[in-house]
Structure 1
């Protein structure tokens, strides 16, 4: 049962914890106000909704250490969390007790971040802080999550570009044979960068005209500067991709040029890093290079836009949404994802359309 004690010029509410120790709930200027709060504490404890204020006195830095120890995510995500905490969250809130972090403090911080970072990055940073504070609520250290329903200012981004089959061929023609094959494979499969550069011979089933994305080592990840094979982005990304005939032939020819266990490697046999490939090959091929008399194709296009390109082609060809999602490694939400399936006939029609697109560029 909570009681009231005189303390200096005011009164405080005290209570006994289950372990026998005595805690302080709050301080008040009058006995009447303190007694009202003491009655409320008794009611909350009877209803098992009481939040012990001492639990929220832990600093965010201390709480983050506890949270990270218990949080189970992949190495890539863990590295991202570490960066957001170290660079953005802990410098501002690390020494603050959890129960001292207010909504207005967070809103001010988000406003400042919006002036220096893209809205998508700010949203990711805010999401990490919100997870920390949300777990503190679940652990009954604080009453509410000060990040709840906060959103960074959205950027008005232009629609990402996509390429026609002739533009893909033009980009490829600006590259050497190995790099060109990587680009063509990306455009005609919709595979992610990490899936492409992580693809190994054992998962390239050319006799069956299929590529398999392995659940354990199906993607190459760059984590804190290190390249590591690991699972693809999502469980839905574990899939088998049917290849059009021309691409089977092209990949066979490409594999005859080296004996590395990976399909796509650099000239020195090393695995590709996205930044190196972009700087040395992708940017000059898409933006153009006047010194080398390379004409621009689609200035500003990202390598990932080849994935958008593949999606656009499937839409143009009237491929069912479920087949599009399966090929790209997505999962349709709700009932559509449960009851929709891709038949072999639909899959064959998809690759027939891709083969026709290639032939329309004047290639056999």
Structure 2
């Protein structure tokens, strides 16, 4: 009796003795299996799997995923509505960390094992864990889009917590160390250090301040945006990532005389005049300031402290007051929930109370300090 005729696909035996499986795709193209099979049974099983995919709507065009990863990744970055600094970062991650390994591979050929090997090799080569985590997260996101595009069925980035950035605990400068660093800096940057610590402002937020943002009568600083530097040296003004980033921060009264003296001596004139400018009247460059910062740290005997760590000082001091978690997040500009934003609009009095609590800590620390007095009332520049 003649064998039952196959209803889906074809299997034929090759001169090598192996078996080839082929089927007619939804696009009318005759498509062979990507490999040959040792037995006819193996070829039949493969065709059965393909038929199931077709019936369930899970079929993927095997040719579509043959696009080289680098081409797909570069287009992915270009097509996204990213901030310029973010787009620049992603382009660097693709070019430096992803393309050398995956660039010429087709998306379909990137396997979980290949991703694990790449990540381990990056770490073994001494690449920082934070950079590797960011590169892995970008790879996972790009390939996630490939899944959404129907190019691959499953994302090969399967490493648990592979994109988690484990940040080591940073040092916290004491109140007296903050004042010592402020005194060791050039006079025009003394107020910048004090605001960075006791108001927990970021570098980019500080250099973006204008005269109209500093209310000396109320003792408040309004944060409306920040300035960031691209790798080519260009500086761009950015609005906060969330509305919570736009905030008003109270200045502790102990440092207010220093801020008043700075505004009188160093800030540019006019409402739009810059609060912090360099000796030549330009917005300070981060790399130039870092040189001054490292020298000041060395002069006062502090090691491993970054300017950004001053935010941790301010946050720690604020946490010693009775501020709630929400109030702390508002002060730091890190809340993005609608409820927190509504609360923020009515929190000026509470913000002043938090600053007064920080001020009490400053006064107490200065009382305990040995040596000449003068910080609380010293307005010299």
Bin for the TM-score computed over the shorter chain: 0.7 to 0.9
Q: Which of residues 273, 298, 302 is equivalent to 1:287?
A: 298
Query: Is residue 197–residue 310 contact of structure 2 (8 Å, CA) maintained in 1?
Result: yes
Residues 209/3 of structure 1: CA separation in 2 closer, same or farther (3 Å cut): same
Whether the aligned pair in 1 keeps the contact of 2:133 and 2:165 (CA below 8 Å) is no
- Pick from 270, 276, 279 the counterpart of residue 288 of structure 2: 276
TM-score of the superposition, structure 2-length normalised? 0.83
The yes-or-no answer on 1:68 pairing with 2:74 is no
Question: Does 2:334 match 1:330?
Answer: yes
Does structure 1 retain, via aligned residues, the 8 Å contact 2:130–2:166?
A: no
How far residue 201 of structure 1 moved from its aligned partner, in angstroms, is 2.2
Q: Which runs of 5+ in 1 are unaligned?
A: 289-294
Match for residue 148 of structure 2 among 117, 138, 159: 138
Asked if 1 retains the 8 angstrom alpha-carbon contact of 2:137 and 2:163, the reply is: no
How does 1:156-175 map onto structure 2 within 5 Å? 159-175=169-185
| Aligned with 1:58 (options 50, 58, 67) | 67
Q: Secondary structure at the match of 2:282?
A: coil
Asked whether the equivalents of residues 77 and 91 of structure 2 are also in contact (C-alpha less than 8 Å), the reply is no
Partner of residue 228, structure 1: 236
User: CA deviation digits over 1:139-168, x for unaligned, max 9?
Assistant: 111121111234459999753111222111
Superposed CA deviations along residues 234-266 of structure 1, whole A, max 9, x for unmatched, are 443222212233444433321222426221111
Aligned mates of 1:155, 1:130 — CA distance in 2: 15
Matched residue, 1:310:
314
Q: Which has the larger radius of gyration?
A: 2
Matched, 1:4 2:10: yes
Q: Is the 8 A contact 1:114 1:152 kept in 2?
A: no
More off after superposition, 180-189 vs 194-203: 194-203
Structure 2 counterpart of 1:292: none
In the other structure, the counterpart of 1:347 is 351
Alpha-carbon contact 2:244-2:341 (below 8 Å) kept: no
What SS does the corresponding residue of 1:221 show, helix, strand or coil? strand
Matches within 5 A, 1:228-247: 228-247=236-255
CA shift for structure 1 position 49:
1.5
Superposition pairs for residues 111-190 of structure 1, below 5 Å?
A: 111-115=120-124, 116-151=126-161, 159-190=169-200
**1:205-260 Cα deviation digits (max 9, x unpaired):** 3344322222xxx1111112211111235443222212233444433321222426
Q: Give the equivalent residue in structure 2 for 1:219.
A: 226
Could you tell me whether the CA contact under 8 Å between 1:197 and 1:272 is conserved in 2? yes
Shifted more, 177-186 versus 225-234: the winner is 225-234
* TM-score normalised by the chain length of structure 1: 0.87
When residues 65 and 22 of structure 1 are mapped into structure 2, their CA distance, relative to the original with a 3 A threshold, is farther
RMSD (Å), alpha carbons:
2.7
- Separation in 1 of the partners of 2:275 and 2:179? 20
Match of 1:15 among 19, 24, 37: 24
CA 1:210–1:7: 2 relative to 1, 3 Å: farther
Which residue of structure 2 aligns with residue 102 of structure 1? 111
